[in-house]
Amino acid sequence: MQNYRKQNEGIIEIFFLSVSVIALLILVSIFLFLFITGIKAFTQISLSDFFLGTVWNPTAYGEPTWGILSLIIGTLMVAIGSLIIAIPLGLASAIYLSEIARPEIREIVKPAIEMIAGIPSVVLGLIGLLLLSPLIANIFGLSSGLNALTACIIVAIMVLPTIISISEDVLTSLPKDFREASLALGATKWQMIRMTLLPAGLSGIVAAIMLGLGRAVGETMAVLMVAGNSIAMPTSFFDPIRPMTANIAIEINEVVKGSLHYESLFAIGLVLFVMTFAVNLISDIIIERQVRKYKW
């Protein structure tokens, strides 16, 4: 009787282990597929052409060019621009929710903000297309509102819930002693927040921002609909841009498997993957440090 239960244990553990390995396998396969297909592109395109070339035109009238610099800049512009909007808004909201709001208000506002995360990106893109972009064109006197600015605003809306949620969690998880000690020394609430809580929770907040950054870099549909998608090197936020994600989405449907164009799109995918992997890794390390500091 004892023996069969023990035997079962072994099998069950192996079963769960093998299932868990699948998650690892998926990540590895994604990387492998991207790498194997993408690397082939570099047998025909030089690294400097790819990363430093400014024109991406695989279906050119003359010689195709494969420079992704303008695409990388497009991605960076969306990432940085949306964070410039979302970080102040997000942090302020997080501070409000965790330190200032009454519990009843918190119970309503927090779930409401989580709901924004549930709105599909294509719906936000639709609103951007129909409402925001003509508005921006009107306000700034531009001929068209399909540009980096509109894309940044829409992506900021998407990234906001992530930043608020995690920052708020970080702040509420800080020990009560911190607050009590600070207030006991005569600080006002704001002084307490500014001088005690924020520095203590800084790494967690940075991690939240990095996760938001990851989301902004990876956003596809919304930017596809409102960023303008031109391949020229942008000179300002009022210019149309084409982030790497939008480029892959646009061209993946027309490539024949095995062609250089196909391989080069996977190469772009590889670059994207490495970027988001790096951002996530860094935020992981930061979160780990934060948890270790304040776990009690």
Q: Which is nearer to other proteins, 200 or 222 (CB)?
A: 222
* Binding test (CB under 8 A) with other proteins, winner from 265, 267, 286, 290: 265
- Residues in region 149-168 near other proteins by CB under 8 A: 157, 160-161, 164
Query: Which of the ranges 43-51, 176-184, 198-206, 255-263 carries the binding residues for other proteins, by CB under 8 A?
Result: 255-263
Burial track 11-47 (b if 16+ CB lie within 10 A, e otherwise): eeeeeeeeeeeeeeeeeeeeeeebbebbebbbeebee
Are 209 and 163 in contact, with CB atoms under 8 Å apart? yes
CB of 79 to other proteins, least distance (A): 12
**Dihedral of alpha carbons 213, 92, 121, 59, sign:** negative
- Residues in region 92-131 near other proteins by CB under 8 A: 92-93, 95-97, 100-101, 109, 111-113, 115-127, 129-131
- Residues in region 7-36 near other proteins by CB under 8 A: 8-24, 26-30, 33-34
* Binding test (CB under 8 A) with other proteins, winner from 242, 267, 286, 290: 242
- Residues in region 165-184 near other proteins by CB under 8 A: none
The reply on whether position 53 binds other proteins by CB under 8 A is no
Rounded to an integer, what distance in angstroms lies between the CA atom of residue 283 and that of residue 276? 11
Rounded to an integer, what distance in angstroms lies between the CA atom of residue 53 and that of residue 68? 6
* Binding test (CB under 8 A) with other proteins, winner from 69, 206, 249, 291: 249
Return the structure tokens found at 43.
């047998």
The reply on whether position 66 binds other proteins by CB under 8 A is no
Compute CA distances 147 → 63, 73, 85, 132, 215, whole Å.
28, 13, 16, 11, 19
